[in-house]
Structure 1
Amino acid sequence: MPYKTFSLLTITLLLLGNALTLQAQGTADDYRRANDWSSRIRNKLYYAPTSFNWIDSTHRCWYYEQTPRGKEFMLVDADKRTKGPAFDQVKLANALSTLLHRTYTAYALPFNMMDFSDKEHTLEFNIGDTVCQCKLTDYSCRLKEIKGKTTPDRYWGAEHDEQNEPPVPSPDSNWVAYIQSYNVYIRDRKTKAVFQLSYDGSEGEYYSSYMEWAPDSKKLAAVKVRANKKHLLYLISSSPTDQLQPKLSTRDYLKPGDALPVRVPQLFLVESKKHIPLDAALFNQQYSLGNLEWRKDSRAFTFEYNQRGHQVYRVLEADAATGQVKILVEETSPTFIDYSSKKYRYDVNDGKEIIWASERDGWNHLYLYDGKTGQVKHPITKGSWVVRSVVKVDEQARTIIFGASGREQGQDPYLVQYYKTDFEGKHLQPLTTENAQHAAKFSTDYKYFTDAYSRVDLPPVTVLRDANGKVIMELEKADITALQQTGWRAPEVFSAKGRDGQTDIWGIIIRPSNFDASRKYPVIENIYAGPHSAFVPKAFQAAYRGMQELAELGFIVIQVDGMGTSNRSKAFHDVCWKNLKDAGFPDRILWMKAAAGKYPYMDLTRVGIYGTSAGGQNAAGAVLFHPEFYKAAVASCGCHDNRMDKMWWNEQWMGYPIGPQYEECSNVTHAANLEGKLMLILGEMDDNVDPSSTLQLVNALIKNNKDFDFVMVPGMGHSSGGDYGEQKRRDFFVKNLLQVAPPAWDELKVENKTLGTR
């Protein structure tokens, strides 16, 4: 009996201990630490500038950085190899205080951007809507102007008014071209004589007022447009600030499968008043047609054609005498051409040669074309790595400076390095090599560049390099001591094999500041699997978009770039094609299993996930398509059915015409699969992703009698729900993964404000 009694007591104490361990996560203290996190670490990263500004065509540049004293502005002279204060901040603060009748302190000046003028004797900057100008010779300051209200941001999907642009003058100023009654007219500016050049324009098939004169002023290119039917998105603001009753508004919002305008370039010869329509055979299945540009010698004009479905992309040239169209560059793909993020074209020597980016060999590289024949002369870059950007093409020296990733062995394949090569591709020269993410800013003559390099687990180092990449000055070396004293710890970079057993998948692991390896931690993934890029942070930063705050509640938070995202091989990227529901989940799950194999405190029986926009689609898809692994998800403003979202993004990856793949990838179609916990967050005024996309998922879940949470925020646009949504998301994971009742909101404060009240 005594032995048995002891055993029961031991078991009871063990159970109680485990319960207490669980209760130590998701507590009010954890919430307060999470809520205070951003203010605690603010301005604790010293000597880590991020913005570099070369002054006109000089070899002098300035930057600002946080130091123990505050914000300091520095000036570098590359020729003299010197660095010092950009100006006397004490004198400037005193002058501003006098001018604006407010107290300004030297190391908290109220601006980040400025312009030097008058041989760097004058400084100009904005404080709110006020433009200030200060002479650095005597620190006398004046108000240059007070700007009026800025115009509201233009809606991203708004169409340009192609019929009402101003008249277009010819380069020699003798003519002006304009649209009247849907047709093209020109007027002699000396004699005022008017000539009608086209006669086939109509309301349904009009000429665009965007026209391009040839440099010799003897030819004019215009575009005839057959308009499409608009698709309007309707939004109801339930709680407008200026009236009691709701407001209805609309947006132009094309969706997959909608009709598109048809554009056909036209050539007009001014002296003969001749109209030459172009044969549309090479561009008659348009997604888009644009970038119309004349050759400098007026022999021809070029334009670019993206075939609907994004599997054919052409650079075309129209002869200025005959209007005959020929192909200069033709890019094809059995899946998709990533026109939205990888397209690059540079015409050398007025089109005698063309530099063009292509993934035709499986990796994004540069090719040199013969601009007359349209034939590839040779690849400029090649190998199992990716050109990420072109910085400078020097036609005289026939060299290219570019950024690339994946070339340096033993490094994270996403880290950007800089290189220089010649047009022949035979003399590739690394300009940076350190195992880090590099960010270069070149002087206007490309003789020098600043290089700020870091990793998420390597504090930034900033250097000045010459044109060959040689370090000529160390400018700054970050100090993270104060940051670490707050309890901050760097994320861990972690890689594991993906679904093919060969490809490395890369991500980061974020632990709470009070991490205890003896505990068990649920795992939460921050997901965004949009194929247009890759999303795991690579450069050092103090804050990680709310992930650390979530970790503070008692979670391991991770972020991963699975297959189907960009910046790796074409095969890696193609996984997404017509298959957005994949979202790299097989790779993500394997990655987490590998991490948990190394770190047993990662509890994969309690995995959550959250995301916004495409990430919202992914998060909801996790608990619909992989409920055996993901147990709880928060999906904000998700495009839950790709037929409901914007055309350009969805047809790029899901293909055209609309086929069964759209329904197969729809969260709405698979709502009955829900097994875990799901919260949907929506801004009622979202004009990025149609709010009905989320509401249709809500409807499908209700019809399938599924238990879920739904938060709609009145007046809010495309977002994760703001502070309210963030608090709801934290509570959701604490409740469903920690099995802990979240504390009352009125106990929790952020910057002396409560987030909300239960």
Structure 2
Amino acid sequence: MDFPELAARTRRFRHGAPRAISVADDGSRVVFLRSAGPTDPTEALWLLDVDTGQERIVADPGALLEDDANRLSPGERTLRERLRLSAAGIGSYALDSAGRVAIFALGGRLFRADLIHGDVVEVAAAGPVLDPRPDPTGQRLAYVTDAAAGVRRGELRVIEYDGTDTMLAGEDAGVIWGLAEHVAAEEFNRFRGYWWAPDGRSVLAARVDESRLGRWHLHDPAEPATAPTTVAYPRAGGPNAEVSLHLLDLDGGWVDVHWDRETYPYLTAVHWADGGPLITVLRRSQQHGLVLAVDPRTGETQVHAELADPRWVEPVPGTPAHLPDGRVLVGGELAHDGYDARCLFADGTLLTPPSLYVRRVVGRLPAHSGTGPADLLVEAAEGEPSEQHLFRVRTTIGGGMDVRRITPDAGWHVGAVGGNVLVVGSASLDHPGLRWTVWRGDREVATLRSFAATPPYSPLPLLERVTDRRLPAAVLYPENHVSGRRLPVLLDVYGGPGHQEVLAARSAWLERQWWADAGFAVVVIDNRGTPGVAPSFEKAIHRRVADMVLTDQVEGLTALAEKHPDLDLGRVAVRGWSFGGWLAALAVLRRPELFRCGIAGAPVADWSLYDTAYTERYLGMPEDGMDVYAHHSLVELAAATEQAQPLLLVHGMADDNVVAAHTLRLSAALLANGHPHSVLPLTGATHMAAGGIGENLLKLELAFLRTHLE
């Protein structure tokens, strides 16, 4: 079996690997999802008993539903698209605070698993189920309905222990309750729309009014008998969904949460634990935000912190939150007195040093001293952006900052925590996949088994920092490369905000090794705008994305060629997907003397057709700079440029994120100007281009590059 087929059948070697790790608050159980083998796409719910180190399956989708286990309702399909989940079976689950009960949806139906005794029962629900969650006490559960015959999408409902199912909130078409709107899930990583009170007696729920949004109609021409799918899409410069918050008492009480929603329309984060609800709201420009404490009795809010940046605010995931002593934890940037850092603050007091680039707050660890307030578990980088480590951060008042690195080995590490149990997931260039180890205190007590396939490659990319901007970069040669043999170059790009490609993790290089072994020197560069280096590095692209990212890619490539004389800059191709697809097409159209051809997958060809939150964050409002939008438009560039090299445009016809209109408009502009290109429409494919199409798509891409680099 060749690599493209193996990668497609194993979902890039992720089938059979544990994911979605949770730890019970008392540290007794680790809960996770995993499929049964390297080619099995159906994920089941598993549990590891920390005391015994034994694993057992809790819920097997095939045993629960047989033929219906992989059926997805429209809303579940959309939610998985936002989460970038392509696995089947149980896509997600939720626990009560003690980790004794797990709730999940399967085939649109609702299930409750007793993690102590092992019983799994179906719970009768009013309609197809979305995002079910138990209350913290485990006595009742809530869910949101998906559309079905006689059922409205977006009803928030609660089921009591005796099975009584009550609608907590619901309205006519155009208004949904308890779900995240498109930009919250796609751009702010807020995938939830309701939050239980700690005592389980009320719910903080988002009401989303999409009635102002324009309707886009997505249709796959390969299915002419199927009606188009209609979505409410928040196009750049146009209206957003109106989002409000409401405290809903299970006895029928209703309190509106008050803040200036006209000035701060974006609700980006919500946290409700002991201490009361905390929310983060942003202006539409995203240059100013507020961290607000909510009084659950009156709905009134109090400002706890302000977030401000002349470019855009970038909150830290896992914040805001209450610390045990009542202070409010906020993540943000330290950008004065010569500092250029991404840090944590407690009521304005700095908790982490400027040398630490904080990526996420995972949770709480028992104090390292054994007494006093809990420490924080934090994912962060320290000097080397290709790596991520786990750190213990002390929260005690006084004594200065105390931050200790937990993960000693090089690589990319993530964590989950509950009680005194820490679960560490470690990726490295030295081994395949993500290895999960379970620690109680300073002692390793178990590992989570992986049934994933072993990749056929052990790639060794040469990681470097190049140019005076110290861009993270890498070169990957064919396995049998002999020094002195000149190779065509494949610049494999993403380059967009919020995502890194140069990682000290083997999984990032497996497909690239296949490309290298096909006869290329593969080059990867993280330009300005990508995270991990410093806030100023990320935000230099504000309103000048195209110039910055392309300049960095070209200068980085040139600098690497000076160090690696086997890179033949007379034969350079570029490929990318999504933002990377836009960047690949931009490179071919702007720099045809360097790039001989390019592959652009799902490119954002016209930024006025992309969503509000992402586009306006980096380019500003269209009415404040139509010249900025025109400068970044591939459609206008294709119409104006006199010379262009061949482009292969690839797009999923069911893409609801970067709709196929982008590629179709770009193709029309290229055709009108006589520029060489081909269009490959992927029937039924979404933005993820999930499924088996990847296998043959890679081979077609390879044939295209070989044709145009000879």
Q: Same fold (TM over 0.5)?
A: yes
Partners of 1:524 and 1:558 within 8 A in 2: yes
2:698 aligns with 726
1:4 aligns with none
Q: Which residue of 310, 314, 322 corresponds with 2:290?
A: 314
Deviates more, 1:678-687 or 1:227-236: 227-236
Amino acid at match of 1:624: L
**2: CA distance between counterparts of 1:129 and 1:236?**
24
Q: CA deviation at 1:386?
A: 0.9
2:655 aligns with 686
Amino acid at match of 1:710: V
Cα distance change of structure 1 residues 716 and 586 upon mapping to structure 2, 3 Å threshold: same
Is 2:355 aligned against 1:384?
yes
SS at match of 1:414: coil
Equivalent runs, 1:178-577 vs 2, <5 Å = 229-240=212-223, 245=225, 247-261=227-241, 282-289=260-267, 303-317=279-293, 326-339=302-315, 342=317, 344-348=319-323, 352-361=326-335, 362-369=340-347, 376=348, 378-393=349-364, 397-407=372-382, 411-412=384-385, 414-424=387-397, 426-442=401-417, 444-445=418-419, 447-457=420-430, 464-467=438-441, 470=442, 472=444, 488-498=457-467, 501=468, 503-541=469-507, 544=509, 546-577=511-542
Partners of 2:599 and 2:647 within 8 A in 1: yes
Deviations 1:39-83 (A, max 9, x none): 9999999x9977867678455669999999x9xx9998866xx86
**2: CA distance between counterparts of 1:435 and 1:421?**
23
Amino acid at match of 1:725: L
1:584 aligns with 549
Q: CA deviation at 1:414?
A: 3.3
**1: CA distance between counterparts of 2:10 and 2:247?**
61
Identity of paired residues, percent?
20
Partners of 1:34 and 1:550 within 8 A in 2: no
Deviations 1:623-645 (A, max 9, x none): 12333322211001111121111
Deviations 1:6-56 (A, max 9, x none): xxxxxxxxxxxxxxxxxxxxxxxxxx95556649999999x9977867678
Deviations 1:175-198 (A, max 9, x none): 99878999xxxxxxxxxxxxxxxx
SS at match of 1:572: helix
**1: CA distance between counterparts of 2:56 and 2:299?**
58
Partners of 1:463 and 1:471 within 8 A in 2: no
**1: CA distance between counterparts of 2:488 and 2:392?**
42
Amino acid at match of 2:235: K
Q: CA deviation at 1:714?
A: 3.2
Q: CA deviation at 1:355?
A: 0.6
Q: CA deviation at 1:449?
A: 2.5
Partners of 2:331 and 2:343 within 8 A in 1: yes
**2: CA distance between counterparts of 1:236 and 1:43?**
28
Partners of 1:234 and 1:248 within 8 A in 2: yes
Equivalent runs, 1:93-108 vs 2, <5 Å = none
Cα distance change of structure 1 residues 644 and 111 upon mapping to structure 2, 3 Å threshold: closer
Partners of 2:386 and 2:502 within 8 A in 1: no
Q: CA deviation at 1:685?
A: 2.3
Cα distance change of structure 1 residues 453 and 294 upon mapping to structure 2, 3 Å threshold: closer
Q: CA deviation at 1:596?
A: 2.7
**1: CA distance between counterparts of 2:272 and 2:246?**
13
Partners of 1:391 and 1:400 within 8 A in 2: no
**2: CA distance between counterparts of 1:57 and 1:218?**
23
Amino acid at match of 1:254: P
**1: CA distance between counterparts of 2:390 and 2:107?**
37
Deviations 1:473-512 (A, max 9, x none): 696999x9x979x5x33231311223xx1x4322333333
**2: CA distance between counterparts of 1:220 and 1:67?**
39
Partners of 1:238 and 1:247 within 8 A in 2: no
SS at match of 1:670: helix
1:653 aligns with 618
**2: CA distance between counterparts of 1:515 and 1:66?**
37
1:188 aligns with none
Cα distance change of structure 1 residues 735 and 430 upon mapping to structure 2, 3 Å threshold: same
SS at match of 2:560: helix
**2: CA distance between counterparts of 1:317 and 1:291?**
12
Q: Cα RMSD (Å) of the superposition?
A: 5.9
Partners of 1:526 and 1:559 within 8 A in 2: yes
Amino acid at match of 2:330: W
SS at match of 1:389: strand
SS at match of 1:584: helix
SS at match of 1:384: coil
Cα distance change of structure 1 residues 552 and 230 upon mapping to structure 2, 3 Å threshold: same
Aligned residues: 613
Equivalent runs, 1:48-67 vs 2, <5 Å = 57=26, 59=28
Partners of 1:521 and 1:602 within 8 A in 2: yes
**1: CA distance between counterparts of 2:25 and 2:36?**
25
Amino acid at match of 2:459: A
Is 2:665 aligned against 1:699?
no
**2: CA distance between counterparts of 1:41 and 1:261?**
38
Q: CA deviation at 1:571?
A: 0.4
Partners of 1:518 and 1:601 within 8 A in 2: yes
Deviations 1:150-179 (A, max 9, x none): 96999xxx999899656999xxx9x99878
Partners of 2:362 and 2:416 within 8 A in 1: no
**2: CA distance between counterparts of 1:267 and 1:61?**
32
Q: CA deviation at 1:525?
A: 2.0
**1: CA distance between counterparts of 2:657 and 2:644?**
29
Q: CA deviation at 1:388?
A: 1.4
1:106 aligns with none
Is 2:640 aligned against 1:667?
no
**1: CA distance between counterparts of 2:256 and 2:24?**
48
> Is there any run of 5+ residues in structure 2 with no aligned partner, and where?
67-88, 95-102, 132-145, 174-192
**2: CA distance between counterparts of 1:722 and 1:222?**
39
Amino acid at match of 1:532: G
**2: CA distance between counterparts of 1:266 and 1:114?**
24
**1: CA distance between counterparts of 2:167 and 2:48?**
48
Cα distance change of structure 1 residues 650 and 126 upon mapping to structure 2, 3 Å threshold: closer
Q: CA deviation at 1:611?
A: 1.2
**1: CA distance between counterparts of 2:195 and 2:684?**
42
Q: CA deviation at 1:304?
A: 3.7
**2: CA distance between counterparts of 1:699 and 1:113?**
41
Partners of 1:385 and 1:404 within 8 A in 2: no
Q: CA deviation at 1:260?
A: 2.9
1:10 aligns with none
1:27 aligns with none
Q: CA deviation at 1:587?
A: 2.8
Amino acid at match of 1:239: A
SS at match of 2:554: helix
1:636 aligns with 601
Amino acid at match of 1:356: V
**1: CA distance between counterparts of 2:479 and 2:657?**
36
**1: CA distance between counterparts of 2:106 and 2:294?**
50
